Amino acid sequence: MAQEGDGVFQLPVAGPKHLIFHVDEAHHGQRLDRFLTAVCPAISRGDWKRIISVGGVHLDGRRMSQCSLPIAAGCSVEVFIDGRPLEKWLPTDEQILWRDDYLLALNKPAGIDCQPTPARFQGTVYQGVLDLLGRRHRFGRKPEIGMVQRLDRDTSGVMVFSIHPRAHRGLTRQFSEHSARKFYLALVHGRPEVENGEFRSCLARIRATNLVRSVERGGRHAHTRYRVLQSSEQASLVLVEPVTGRSHQIRAHFSEAGCPLVGDVKYGGDPALAGVDLAGHLLHAWRLAINHPVTGEPMVLAAPLPVLWRRLLACLELDLPDASSVGDMGGPTVGSV
């Protein structure tokens, strides 16, 4: 974190930033974007406008999205920058796996946060879905979103939302009672000792490292099933079913087993594989089996693998998985591998 009172602040090296500026009498009444340009000219006024628009600027603890807002002496301006593109995100038609009056399912790309963060409100999956529904229901019922699952920023794959009051309770119950079955594909370093196994532990976030780890006391029960599909000298392709849905559950369990996810530097993975530099961990929410919360019909939502995955699997001479990797899950399949 960097703080600055009077004068001009020199921006540090590229990457995520947390800046705090205090407004003095000389800047009283100035527009928010002009003030930030004055105290930190290393960022252009145009970029400051984009940082404000995506939600990265907070005035006295409240997020502000109005560039022309006049500021007062004595105020504190806090800035969060995550180093990612300063633009909105809207799901494309290709990313929509299923849509009816009650449900919306997306193939979430890696690199996008699910929920708002201090650095952004725009450019998140939640806001993208809200914008999508708002545009398509402009003259009808106000969009309502039930967000029953979360994926880490760098995890891609199936996300399902209830978009009608009649669907909220039924979909939420399936996730809270663990009747919704979630199948992920993970590319991990090495090869797990057991081909078809499971992890059971209590997980908790360790304050000193901000990592999730297994603990003897105070954690929450986590249960992960897995099956090794294929292996090469460098990595293994693993089918994973998290029976519970704890934060970082899959990442923590495989890291503790000595097989961290490829690209998951935070949990011990390498940042590159087969000569390809990776921006994050390789975990894909591949298939989701649920019952439609209104009709009761069983359905399986399937998210195609990203191009990067296909490229890496080809380099490792590993085959693309198919539906037989999971077995008979019941219900019609929406989407494809």
Q: In terms of domains, do 183 and 282 share one?
A: yes
Q: In terms of domains, do 264 and 233 share one?
A: yes
Task: Assess if residue 320 is contained within a domain.
Answer: yes
Contacts for 257 with CB less than 8 Å, ≥ 6 apart? 192, 193, 199
Strands 333-334 and 298-302: parallel
Task: Assess if residue 86 is contained within a domain.
Answer: no
Q: In terms of domains, do 166 and 103 share one?
A: yes
Task: Assess if residue 88 is contained within a domain.
Answer: no
Strands 283-291 and 156-162: parallel
Query: What is d(CA 126, CA 289) in angstroms, rounded to the nearest whole number?
Result: 22
The residues that bridge with 105 in the sheet, in sequence order, are 98, 160
Residue 70: how many other CB atoms lie within 10 Å:
12
Q: In terms of domains, do 139 and 221 share one?
A: yes
Q: In terms of domains, do 42 and 185 share one?
A: no
For 167, the domain range is 93-334
Q: In terms of domains, do 244 and 174 share one?
A: yes
Q: What is the pLDDT of residue 106?
A: 97
Query: What is d(CA 212, CA 217) in angstroms, rounded to the nearest whole number?
Result: 14
Contacts for 126 with CB less than 8 Å, ≥ 6 apart? 114, 115, 116, 145, 147
pLDDT in tens, 243-276: 999 999 999 999 999 999 999 999 999 999 988 9
Where a domain ends, among 81, 114, 134? 81
Q: In terms of domains, do 25 and 150 share one?
A: no
Average pLDDT over every residue of 212-225: 95
Contacts for 75 with CB less than 8 Å, ≥ 6 apart? 22, 23, 59, 60
How many domains is the chain built from? 2
pLDDT in tens, 111-144: 999 988 899 888 899 999 988 988 655 455 667 7
Where a domain ends, among 46, 61, 81? 81
Q: In terms of domains, do 59 and 203 share one?
A: no
Query: What is d(CA 142, CA 130) in angstroms, rounded to the nearest whole number?
Result: 10
Q: What is the pLDDT of residue 144?
A: 79
pLDDT in tens, 53-106: 999 999 999 999 999 999 999 999 999 998 888 888 889 999 999 999 999 999
Q: In terms of domains, do 115 and 205 share one?
A: yes
Query: What is d(CA 41, CA 63) in angstroms, rounded to the nearest whole number?
Result: 21
Residues tagged active-site: 152
State pTM to two decimals: 0.85
Q: In terms of domains, do 105 and 64 share one?
A: no
pLDDT in tens, 295-330: 999 999 999 999 999 999 999 999 988 877 675 434
